[in-house]
Amino acid sequence: MIENKTILITGGTGSFGQKCAEILLNNHAPKKTIIYSRDELKQFEMRQRFSKEKYPAIRFFIGDVRDKERLYRAFQGVDYVIHAAALKQISSCEYNPTEAIKTNILGAQNIINVAADAGVKKVVALSTDKAVNPINIYGATKLCSDKLFIAANAFTAHNICRFSVVRYGNVLGSRGSVLGIFFKHKPSGVLPITDKRMTRFWISLEQGVNFVLKAFERMYGGEIFVPKLPSMNILDFAKAVAPECKIKITGIRPGEKIHELMISKEYSRQTVEYNDYYMIKPDTDYWHYRLNEKSCKLVHEEFEYNSKNNDWWLSIDEMREIIKTYKNINPK
């Protein structure tokens, strides 16, 4: 589905966008891969890595998802959109809630309207575990964004544009990830941990990108796709990164959860299970006939997908082997 197609990535200079561009350009043959972001410095740095001589299919487009007119220009001739742009820093969003709303909610609305008008075929929006039972403004705005993308399939039913959502949690190696923080503090001999009970799902950037690209094949429109992922306790993770370091408990930060939650009990009646992922079905009449029930099964009514009660856990040795591939991570 990707071959000879034009794909635009909003927030394309972020960790996900750069890995996505790398996989698209090295493993597939897109007609064009457009990096859409507002940071000219990051685009300049990305151009050094993805030169036009080596990667003739790449394009760079400066713009903000808040700017609807600019999106109209960028979306001309685009087949697929991956919406990764967002304000994500929890503390920044708490202090600047109106800015989070403008980017994460109004920006999502702009993506939907412009994609429908411009004839984009499919849009996959990136969500987060924090959108499930949110306790901070970032999670609240992402929940609203998810709802917008799912509902958009109803009012675009007359045309070809379809919208779906991919949701996953903690990404190893992304900017601001705990792995980078631990690498930064490792030389001091002390690793900061907010709470020793904390558990997290773990996914690599490459796994996240491939799951998103696979969603373009799987989607009809309106689904939320959630990959099956392993869990790990944060203390075990610290031992995998730096077993020689002492642990300093700093206390839970505002808006932080002890455990990651990807699917709440309230959505169990809409959730089906496949071999390697879950799918939350949209609660709309137009969609139900599309589901191939032979390839999946309904989860039980009390089902909840969280990192504490997960049945797949990584050992310290397993995580240590994974971490070996992240030695050059930027801790910033």
Amino acid at 117: D
- Give me the long-range contacts of 67-70 (CB less than 8 A, separation at least 24): 67/110, 68/110, 68/113, 68/114
The answer to whether 58 and 12 are in contact (CB under 8 A) is no
Contacts of 37 (CB under 8 A, 6+ apart): 10, 11, 12, 13, 14, 17, 43, 61, 62, 63, 85
Whether 88 is a known active-site residue: answer no
How far apart CA 180 and CA 57 sit, in angstroms, is 31
Q: Burial of 51 by CB count in 10 Å (0-12 exposed, 13-18 middle, 19+ buried)?
A: exposed
Closest CA to 10 of 77, 108, 93, 130: 108
Q: The tokens of 97 are what? A: 């809630």
Q: Which of 5, 19, 88, 130 is catalytic?
A: 130
Active site residues: 130
